[in-house]
Amino acid sequence: MTATVTLANQKSFKAPPGVSLLDAAAAAGLALPHSCRSGRCSSCKTRVLRGQVLPLRTDTVLSAEERAAGWSLSCIDAAAPDCELQLDLEDQAELAGLRSLTLPARVERLERRADLLILSLRLPLQPRLAYLPGQYLDLIAPGGLRRSYSIANAPRADGRIELHIRRVAGGAMSEFLFDQLQPEQLLHLQGPRGSFHLRQVEGRPLLLLATGTGIAPIKAMLEGMTQRPSRTLLIWGNRRSDDIYWQPPAGVEFWPVCSREAGAARTGHLQQHLPDGDLSAWTVRACGNPAMLDAARALLLARGLPEREFHADAFVASGQDKGEEA
């Protein structure tokens, strides 16, 4: 009954019936691309080259046409029994050694700006939270309420982390964090989670896209960058220029886009300001709302970007999924 799954780099694993491809790979020590784990963000989207998959639940990402063309979501699809399944993706070995931990986190600093909170947390040095810039974690409030937020800084020697949190009207976690949380209060976190990170950019032009607090993992990537792209272009979409609460480091070409400010240099939606020309040599990291990601992806692919060079992390608003408040 167990299926055999082979990846593009010829690594393989066994997939029992009723177990998602993502979980089956993890049980074999292989880390596949993913984020939400609920079939809503498309980070785990892959093409089935041979064999058959069976959806474990209904997704809202893939159309019937995409399913018919062989596309699959590894977080909610299982291999058909006794199947030889081949997927057009590789595992991410750099993620396999990262261990998810539940740790205490002491509030060190609260910077509240209208509907934005920059939260700095102090973590124990042992055991140390090991993560890659771009990943996220679950923040756990007293009473067990939890939401997922991207880590906004590269790993630091002192173990401190920073989160960027947007207020959501009526959100339980928003009300706690913005109205009740105090310095030195004790929270907990669990992570790291997700597979969004930066790799293989040496000598290539790098395009970074973000909307709102989707800048958090992009900021972490820029801080932790060890390779030198031939060009780094950041396009960050916000409503108004007052919402631009962070400036990228020197050497990064920055195109701010404001959707509700007529006098801004670039107005409208982020995807209206993508670079023109042949993008076949570029690599892209994008984080923000799903509508932006879908539109940007389609436009970039039409301009020659290879499909496997578009890496995205969607902020999906739901009780247990990562989002502005998620």
CATH code for the domain in which residue 270 is found = 3.40.50.80
Q: How do residues 42-53 score in pLDDT, each as one tens digit?
A: 789 999 999 999
What pLDDT does 37 receive?
A: 85
What pLDDT does 326 receive?
A: 31
On whether the CB atoms of residues 285 and 134 are closer than 8 A, the answer is: yes
Whether 161 and 228 share a structural domain: no
- Looking at the predicted structure, is the pLDDT value of residue 324 above 50? no
Whether 231 and 255 share a structural domain: yes
Q: How do residues 290-307 score in pLDDT, each as one tens digit?
A: 889 999 999 999 999 998
pLDDT level of residue 322 (50, 70, 90 thresholds) = low
Q: List, in order, residues 6 or more apart from 159 with CB less than 8 Å away.
A: 122, 123, 124, 125, 128, 129
Q: Does residue 24 belong to any structural domain of this protein? A: yes
Count of domains observed in the chain = 3
Q: How do residues 122-172 score in pLDDT, each as one tens digit?
A: 999 999 999 999 999 999 999 999 999 999 999 999 999 999 999 999 999
| Structural domain of 169 | 98-193
What pLDDT does 318 receive?
A: 47
Residue 245 token pair: 């609460």
What pLDDT does 36 receive?
A: 83
The whole-angstrom separation of Cα 158 and Cα 156 is 5
**Mean pLDDT value of segment 56-82:** 90
Domain termination site, one of 94, 123, 150: 94
pLDDT level of residue 63 (50, 70, 90 thresholds) = confident
**CATH number for the domain that contains residue 58:** 3.10.20.30
What pLDDT does 73 receive?
A: 94
Query: Residues, the chain, total?
Result: 326
Q: Does residue 20 belong to any structural domain of this protein? A: yes
